Amino acid sequence: MKNLKEKVVWITGASSGIGEELAYALAREGSFLILSARNKEKLEQVKVKCLESAAKCWVHPVDLSGNQQLDAVVKAVLAQAGRIDVLINNAGRSQRSLAKETPPEIDRNIMELNFFSVVELMKLVLPQMLKNGSGHIVVVSSISGKLGFPMRTAYSASKHALQGYFESLRTELTNDNIKVTIVSPGRIKTNISVNALTKDGSPYNRMDEGQANGMNTALCAAKIVKAIKKERKELLVGKTEILMVHIRRFLPALYYKLVTRIKN
């Protein structure tokens, strides 16, 4: 099992939800942390709590949905931390709108953040991992990256794209001692539905009932950390909703009937 003590771990989307709890869990493992998200003030608050356990923690705010030069951010991170052992691509945004009512710019917005920014950041970090002869890339996808759900067309597409890209990347890195773990959460109790984009680009501002009753973020983070330590290739994490993945595979007719009944 991999020891994460004093490993430099970069977490995007670290100001709230799964990313925030991953920061706390990895701090307890003794990792050296790099925290990124848009909200610098919240990141500083997370940092204070992390330093109760971790010896080192740095904050590097970044808006992955914008046109910010990621190259400069990566150079700044490497200059400060020296290396990146584990990159956790966790930042992302969901959607709550019907495809027939959603303009293409919303689809592009979601794809840019959830897919293209993840790929770009990975490509900037990968050369340093290759040079060091080791590394671990973790991608937080979604159960929506394996299934299609109503009101989530672009979101589901972005997560399917992550699944295909990083599955393929893993095969390319087999001989380079760089691991790839794809995490597919189901319903985790975060604000992902509250912050989801609607058809006009405004936030949904409601928590789905399923989200409200989802797995708590601390337990989710603990399972992800365990998967990283075990160098697992894939992790499905959630409650009974993750059974839909298996129903889709083995009982497709039942899946097609159930999925149309999902309201949120």
Q: Which of 30-34, 158-162, 198-202, 259-263 has the lowest mean pLDDT?
A: 259-263
Q: How confident is the model at residue 67 (pLDDT cuts 50, 70, 90)?
A: low
Average pLDDT over residues 50-65: 95
- Give residues with Cβ within 8 angstroms of 240, minimum separation 6: none
Is 24 one of the annotated active-site residues of the chain?
no
Note the Cα 240 to chain centre separation in Å.
Answer: 20
CATH architecture under which domain 8-259 falls: 3-Layer(aba) Sandwich (3.40)
Q: How confident is the model at residue 210 (pLDDT cuts 50, 70, 90)?
A: confident
Residue 174 has pLDDT above 90, yes or no: yes
For 120, the token pair is 């770009």
Average pLDDT over residues 213-219: 97
Residue 224 has pLDDT above 90, yes or no: yes
Average pLDDT over residues 220-244: 97
- Dihedral angle, C-alpha 60, 21, 188, 209, nearest 10 °: -90
What would the pLDDT profile of 95-130 be if each residue is shown by its tens digit?
999 999 999 999 999 999 999 999 999 999 999 999
> Is there a contact between 186 and 152 (Cβ–Cβ < 8 Å)?
no
The continuous run of DSSP H or E covering 104 comes out as: helix 104-111
User: 62 in helix, strand or coil?
Assistant: coil
Q: What is the mean pLDDT of the chain?
A: 96
Q: Of 123, 69, 120, 64, nearest to 92 (Cα)?
A: 64
Cα Rg, the chain, nearest whole Å: 18
Residue 69 has pLDDT above 90, yes or no: no
Identify the active-site residue in 24, 155, 204, 255. 155
Question: What pLDDT was estimated at residue 177?
Answer: 97
Question: What pLDDT was estimated at residue 2?
Answer: 86
The residue assigned the tokens 């020891």 is 3
Residue 244 has pLDDT above 70, yes or no: yes
What would the pLDDT profile of 131-157 be if each residue is shown by its tens digit?
999 999 999 999 999 999 999 999 999
